[in-house]
A and B are shown apart, each in its own frame.
Chain A
Amino acid sequence: MSIVLSDLKILLVEDQSEARAMVRNMLAELGITQIFEASNGREALTFLDSAYDFIDLLVCDWNMPGLTGVELLRQLRSVDPTMPFLMVTGRSDKESVVEAKSAGVTAYIAKPFSSKELEAKLRVILHKMAA
């Protein structure tokens, strides 16, 4: 089963509304129209609880108050080991990458990033989804 980039259904989890709007615009630029949003980890979990089937992948910020991106990922992984997860973060140090990888992240994108970089990461995920 292969999905086209513009058909992706994405849950965007980001606590800062400006940053959320920016990523939303980037996704829209890539032709993605089905974008769902959550402003924190708990909201995302609640969303997934009820609308799990609507989502192909999560784009999630690492640094959020309450439930962090990695914690959300861990909880997601405990019920679904395959749901693609793109971690958005300001950290590019090795420890953080290793931590995210061990938590089961599908791809990792460092802030600041352009829509091209975001597209590249989404395509990496598409490739992994098709594999």
Chain B
Amino acid sequence: MITQPDTLLLASVLFSAAVLVGCGFMLFLMKRRCKIKTYASALEHASDFIGNGLMFFDETGRLVSVNTPARGFLPDMLNSDCCGIDRYCLTLQDVLGHFYDMAVDCDQSLINALGRSTRNNDNIGFREVIMASEDRLCLVEAQTVEGVGTNLILIDVGDLRNQEEYMIKLNRYNYELNQAIQAATSGIAVTKPEGGSSKVVFVNKAFCEIFQVSRDKASGQDITDIFRRVHDQHVLDAVAALLAERSSGHAELRIPSFEGGDCWYDLEYTPVYGHAEGSDLSVWLLNDMTALKMREAELSRTQKLEALGQLAAGVAHDFNNVLSIIDGYARLSTKNLDDQKQVRDNLDRIRTASKRGANLIRKMLTFSRHEIVDDTVIDLGAVVREQEVLLQPLLDASIKFNFLSDHQPLYVECPEDNITQIIMNLFVNARDAMPDGGSLLLETRACPQETLPEILLKEDGHQAYASIVVSDTGMGIPDDVLGRIFDPFFTTKQQGKGTGLGLSMVYGLVKQIGGHIDVDSQVGQGTTMTIYMPITDRVPKQASGDINDVSSIRLDGYTVLVAEDEPDLLALVSDMLADLGMNVLQARNGNEALAVQDEYEGTIDLLLTDVVMPEFNGVELAELLKELRPGAKIIFMSGYPAKGQMARVEIPEDAVFITKPIEHEALIKIIYAKLAGYDGQDEALEALHTARWTSKGDIGEGKESVQ
């Protein structure tokens, strides 16, 4: 039996239990929901670290999740402020609409997606670049997972834009750089080494203009081929030298301008070595130096003109002499044209005067410094002794002249003319240094080794020297002038009195023979000039012996040119003459004889030539040689009878012949007579008659043979 209160109690207990169970279940559900929310939020947080923006919309198109990067992209839209209390009140359609507004270049896929998004559960998929906040570019990708919802991924593609901007900037920079390089007045080329050559990878406009080549044509060409366009070996050599060096360098180039004239360039070559293989480059820079060169040349021309002015004053006198001789004889000839002999004589005189003028010019141009050294051996003492007679009249009575000379021979290798020139210059200077009189000493002597200046001892301690000393008691040379006395055109003399070339010439001549000049001067006391000249072992040309005793005859130091087309005879005669101590030059025909004498720099004393030779005969050869080397004596050899082939040859009247077969004794006698200057003298004539010789009109019969 259950009572009312019991029933009430039971009911309340049951109710309480039910409430408890209900509450518990609710609590469980709530807990579970909380957990899910926590997971979702954790997930949302985790996705923050991805970097890309993520947005998730459920099946109904309601935004359920958005991470921080996504909010960063779309701050205006996703900030809770704009969405009211609930930030998730946004729908997919709102967002897509927003994208549509922001799309950089909207394509159909977004428009389609926008249309579909109004219908729930429709699959939308698109890719679109939109302009996100702060002008950042953002790639949006949409994916719908059926029955779950739609994911939007927002990727920052600002870098791409930066890259694009960078490219634009780079292009602009390149463009400006290119403009600048193309506008540069210097020629610029860049090459790349490729299999031994240097291929052009870049050239500017100026470079193309210098070489008259188009840019397209130049590109890919070997740089040497471009330099070759100017046809100048010097340029190619310079380029090759630069290429051979692995370091930078420069060269001065003279490049003929295509418009005519020459241009000077400074070529600068700089190899640039890259880190990677094949990345080496070379830069070629051509700077136009023409203007600078012209200014330099102008300056030097001005100086030269100034010097020439001084010189002109000095040589005008000499030149006028020459011209008046030419003029005078020309007038005389015009007047007496009928007198052929006189006209011929006058013309000869004119020629001699012209030669003198030419010599004057030659000396003026070269300062006699570079002329090829004549290897003549002379006795210095003897030559100076001969000069003494010429020097004396140059002095007036107020100057006391002394000449001292050793009588032992002093052999030096120097043309006599040069000695004359040296002495004359020193002598005149010494005289001019003593306007009020004094004493002048000229001396030649062998120098004891201990008296030689150090500079000569250093060169070769064993070389012996002879010296010419010219000493005066004049005004002396001040220290500030002493250093310049050998400079060309330097003079302290009045205008018109001196050219300033004298001592410069002396200096040149002395250097040419390996000598040295010593100057000792004291102001108020006088000057002593000492010229040291190396003594040679060679003996001067010397003809010795008795003409009647052939075995005693020697012709040491003489040079003979033998022209003979018969090889055996050439060899025989050459041997014979070499035996006499002669220096023998051989030639097998006339042309060769001319070539041999052209090469030979020394003196040729004698031409011994066959008369009849192929192409170019001996008489013609002799005629030319007389012109080229007027000092050479000439002797003909011939085996042809008078009326044979000889008849065709016009023989000079004063010619000396020896008939073939050649007789040893006769040949030696004739040569000796010629060289020793016997011809024309009674004694010589007799000697020559004993030899088998003949002159024109009396050519001996004879067969060509070798005895």
Contact = CB atoms under 8 A, between A and B. Distances in A.
B261 A66 contact: yes
Interface stretch (A10-18, A19-27, A51-59, A89-97): A89-97
Contacts of B627: 114, 116-117, 120
A93 B369 contact: yes
A14 B232 CA distance: 21
A116 B624 contact: yes
Contacts of A2: 615
A81 B411 CA distance: 44
A120 B628 contact: yes
Interface string B348-390: 0000001000100110011001111000000000000000000
A55 B668 CA distance: 46
Given A93-B370, A94-B371, A123 B231 contact: no
Given A93-B371, A94-B370, A75 B594 contact: no
B616 A123 contact: yes
Contact of A123 (B233, B372, B594): B594
A90 B595 CA distance: 21
B591 interface: yes
A130 interface: yes
B598 interface: yes
A123 B615 CA distance: 10
A93 B366 contact: yes
Interface in B605-661: 615-616, 623-625, 627-628
B204 to A, nearest CB: 27
Contact of A127 (B232, B262, B592): B592
A120 B598 contact: yes
Given A93-B370, A120-B627, A121-B598, A71 B256 contact: yes
A74 B230 CA distance: 12
Given A74-B233, A120-B624, A120-B628, A112 B595 contact: no
Contact of B591 (A93, A96, A124): A124
A120 B594 contact: yes
Contacts of A126: 591
Given A94-B372, A112-B354, A74 B591 contact: no
B260 A66 contact: yes
Interface string A72-85: 00110110000000
Interface residues of B, number: 32
B31 interface: no
B590 interface: yes
Contacts of A94: 370-372
Interface string B577-608: 00000000000011110110010000000000
A78 B598 contact: no
Contacts of B615: 2, 4
A67 B371 CA distance: 26
Interface size class, chain A: 20 to 34
A91 B595 CA distance: 20
Contacts of A123: 590-591, 594-595, 616, 624
B591 A71 contact: no
Given A114-B627, A116-B627, A127-B594, A74 B234 contact: yes
A47 to B, nearest CB: 15
Contacts of B234: 74
Interface in A1-48: 2, 4-5, 42
A74 to B, nearest CB: 5
A116 B623 contact: yes
B598 A112 contact: no
Given A71-B256, A94-B372, A114-B627, A124 B231 contact: no
A101 to B, nearest CB: 11
A92 B366 contact: yes
Contact of B598 (A75, A92, A107): A107
Contacts of B628: 116-117, 120
Contacts of A92: 362, 366, 370-371
A65 to B, nearest CB: 8
B232 A75 contact: yes
A8 to B, nearest CB: 12
A116 B626 CA distance: 9
Contacts of B589: 127
A111 to B, nearest CB: 8
Contacts of A127: 589, 591-592, 594-595
B233, B354, B589 — which one has the most chain A CB atoms within 10 A of its CB? B233
Nearest to B231: A75
Given A116-B628, A120-B594, A123-B616, A78 B231 contact: yes
A97 B599 CA distance: 12
A26 B123 CA distance: 108
A5 B617 CA distance: 13
Contacts of A66: 256, 260-262
A19 to B, nearest CB: 15
Contact of B370 (A75, A95, A124, A130): A95
B370 to A, nearest CB: 3
A42 B231 CA distance: 12
Nearest to B234: A74
Nearest to B627: A116
B371 A128 contact: no
A93 B370 CA distance: 5
Contact of B358 (A5, A112, A124, A128): A112
A90 B365 contact: yes
Nearest to B257: A66
B194 to A, nearest CB: 25
Contacts of A116: 623-624, 627-628
Nearest to A77: B233
A30 to B, nearest CB: 11
Given A90-B361, A92-B366, A112-B358, 8 more contacts: A74-B234, A91-B366, A92-B370, A94-B372, A97-B372, A120-B625, A121-B598, A127-B589
29 contacts: A4-B615, A66-B256, A66-B260, A66-B261, A66-B262, A71-B232, A71-B256, A75-B231, A77-B233, A92-B366, A93-B369, A93-B371, A94-B370, A94-B372, A95-B370, A112-B354, A117-B627, A120-B594, A120-B627, A120-B628, A121-B598, A123-B590, A123-B616, A123-B624, A124-B591, A124-B598, A127-B591, A127-B592, A130-B591
Interface of A: 2, 4-5, 42, 66-67, 71, 74-75, 77-78, 90-97, 107, 112, 114, 116-117, 119-121, 123-124, 126-128, 130
Interface of B: 231-234, 256, 260-262, 354, 358, 361-362, 365-366, 369-372, 589-592, 594-595, 598, 615-616, 623-625, 627-628
CB-based closest 3 A-B pairs? A93-B370, A127-B591, A116-B627
